[in-house]
């Protein structure tokens, strides 16, 4: 329930960060200026006794985030993929948040499965292990189906997780409201819309029926992608709080020592992770939006196996083209075209200077173009990008939040596998292939074909739609005498025939 009572939740957040020692670690990781450190300590120190103690056996930041709850853990998971932003040590500490959180007892997991599926767990499964992985929302058990002897992974939601997330999200809404009210300059970031988007994503992640559907769809769209796999869903053993998938053997993408010992080419893996994400996002508009190391396995034959489909992203075809043109412009160093695309898409207000924006983009792209990842300070780059968005009045685009967030995470995964990866060189073949097929005359002809097909379906209704549109604009429809129904039917049929004819001609041209 939203309301002022969430102030206590925010006070406790700050107090927990101070009590666990996480406040200083976070400020150090982000190189916070002295005045910000002073303010944080003045505000945090008096309330520190009110903070949650957490587990003293784990490092400070991990200790604080696990004590605060699942929404904070999600934030920590994102930071764990960006050692270039938070530093290697903090990223290493946060990596345990991906799949090594404290589990709940196997007896509780079995009870959840029995309650959700209405089965006798010990009869259906001949084996049901202790937790093999535990994350912020659910944990996974290895099991074996008694009738078929198939080995499967059974994912079970944490008891009470819905209520815990609701508390966190309510507190986030209060924070966003305060920012919106007290910091007018930050309204372009649309904090309330961002939290609303986050809420929708999280609530979807808490229904494993939706995750099962996403896994099945993702398997279908990526079926022809080489060296990439998605485990199959066992629908009869899945429900709202339980999901059962094929068991996949492999090494975790964050176990670099084991990957080296197994002889995997980490440089090639890093490039493949990045290229597969771009290909799936641009080609299908449907992509894995939580692609951190804990959700990637490398099979013995080198295949990448994706896991955990609770957060999936979608972008429409127009946005895909915009996104591809922006990346392509950076690859070609055509900053003027990149600026034009931003203006055409409405990402930058029309009253701003396009040449000045192009110059700002050049200042972003030139220092990092051609460099390997080890020589790029992502922290400084993100800081400058934020300055650019503020200077040119760019608002947060909620439809792009998942895409942007996942791009940051995937780049972090690629960097962890290959610290010297050249992001532009890795992206070039995928983006060039997409632009060749989807931007230009061929794409325009395909768009016209689709438009003609839609018009042909609406042929019989066109006269009525035109009349309705005229009436809504306050203009009277043509006066009687009106054509007979027979004549109107002939006109409608003619319209449909013409539309079908156009569609046929365009189809011949496109195909």
Q: How far apart are CA 81 and CA 409, in angstroms?
A: 6
Q: How far apart are CA 72 and CA 172, in angstroms?
A: 10
End-to-end CA distance of the chain: 55
* Residue 312 bridge partners (DSSP): 288
- Do the beta carbons of residue 54 and residue 73 sit within 8 Å? no
Q: Which of 84, 99, 290, 308 is catalytic?
A: 290
Q: Which helix (H) or strand (E) holds 143?
A: strand 138-145
- Do the beta carbons of residue 413 and residue 254 sit within 8 Å? no
User: 456: Cβ–Cβ under 8 A, 6 or more apart, which residues?
Assistant: 496, 499, 500, 503
Return the percent helix, strand and coil in the chain, to nearest 5.
Answer: 65, 10, 25
Q: How far apart are CA 480 and CA 140, in angstroms?
A: 71
- Do the beta carbons of residue 97 and residue 62 sit within 8 Å? yes
Angle between helices 335-344 and 354-365 (to 10 degrees): 120
Strands (E), 149-303: 151-157, 228-229, 242-246, 251-252, 286-288, 296-298
* Residue 314 bridge partners (DSSP): 286
- Do the beta carbons of residue 278 and residue 431 sit within 8 Å? yes
**Catalytic residue flag (residue 290):** yes
β-pairing, 228-229 with 304-306? parallel
**What is the token pair recorded at 481?**
């005498």
Q: How far apart are CA 234 and CA 212, in angstroms?
A: 9
User: 237: Cβ–Cβ under 8 A, 6 or more apart, which residues?
Assistant: 117, 124, 145, 152, 154, 244
Rounded to 5 degrees, what are φ and ψ at 315? -135, 140
Kindly list the catalytic residues: 290
């Amino acid at each position: 329930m939203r309301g002022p009572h969430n102030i206590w939740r925010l006070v406790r957040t700050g107090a927990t960060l101070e009590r666990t020692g996480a406040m200083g670690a976070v400020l150090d990781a982000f190189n916070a200026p002295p005045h910000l450190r002073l303010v944080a300590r003045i505000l945090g120190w008096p309330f520190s006794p009110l903070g949650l103690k957490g587990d003293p056996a784990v490092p400070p930041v991990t200790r604080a985030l696990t004590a605060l709850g699942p929404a904070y853990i999600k934030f920590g998971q994102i930071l764990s993929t960006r050692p270039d932003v938070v530093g290697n040590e903090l990223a290493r500490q946060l990596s345990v948040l991906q799949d090594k959180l404290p589990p709940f007892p196997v007896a509780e997991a079995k009870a959840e499965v029995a309650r959700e599926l209405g089965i006798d767990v010990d009869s259906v499964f001949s084996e049901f292990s202790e937790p093999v992985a535990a994350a912020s929302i659910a944990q996974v058990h290895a099991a074996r189906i008694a009738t078929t002897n198939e080995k499967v992974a059974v994912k079970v939601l944490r008891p009470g997780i819905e209520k815990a997330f609701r508390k966190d999200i309510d507190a986030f809404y209060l924070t966003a409201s305060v920012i919106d009210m007290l910091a007018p300059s930050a309204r372009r970031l649309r904090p309330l819309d961002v939290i609303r988007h986050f809420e929708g994503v999280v609530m979807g992640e808490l229904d494993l029926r939706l995750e099962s559907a996403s896994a099945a769809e993702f398997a279908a769209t990526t079926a022809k992608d080489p060296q990439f796999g998605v485990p199959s869903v066992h629908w009869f053993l899945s429900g709202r709080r339980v999901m059962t998938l094929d068991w996949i053997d492999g090494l975790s993408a964050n176990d670099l020592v084991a990957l080296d010992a197994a002889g995997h080419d980490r440089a090639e893996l890093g490039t493949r992770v990045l290229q597969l994400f771009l290909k799936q996002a641009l080609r299908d508009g449907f992509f894995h939006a939580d692609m951190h190391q804990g959700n990637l396995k490398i099979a013995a034959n080198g295949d990448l196996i994706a896991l955990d489909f609770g957060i999936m992203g979608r972008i429409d075809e127009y946005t895909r083209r915009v996104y591809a043109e922006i990346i392509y412009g950076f690859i070609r160093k055509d900053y003027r075209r990149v600026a034009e695309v931003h203006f055409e898409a409405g990402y930058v207000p029309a009253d701003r200077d396009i040449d000045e924006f192009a110059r700002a983009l050049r200042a972003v792209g030139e220092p990092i173009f051609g460099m390997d990842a080890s020589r790029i300070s992502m922290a400084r780059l993100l800081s400058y990008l934020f300055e650019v968005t503020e200077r040119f009045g760019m608002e947060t685009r909620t439809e792009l939040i998942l895409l942007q967030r996942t791009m940051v995470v995937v780049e972090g995964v690629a960097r962890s596998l290959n610290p010297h990866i050249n992001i532009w060189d890795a992206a070039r073949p995928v983006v060039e292939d997409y632009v060749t097929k989807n931007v230009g005359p061929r794409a325009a002809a395909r768009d016209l074909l689709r438009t003609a097909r839609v018009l042909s379906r609406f042929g019989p209704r066109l006269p009525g739609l035109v009349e309705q549109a005229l009436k809504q604009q306050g203009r009277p429809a043509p006066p009687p005498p009106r054509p007979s129904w027979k004549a109107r039917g002939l006109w409608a049929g003619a319209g449909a025939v013409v539309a079908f004819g156009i569609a046929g001609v365009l189809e011949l041209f496109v195909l």
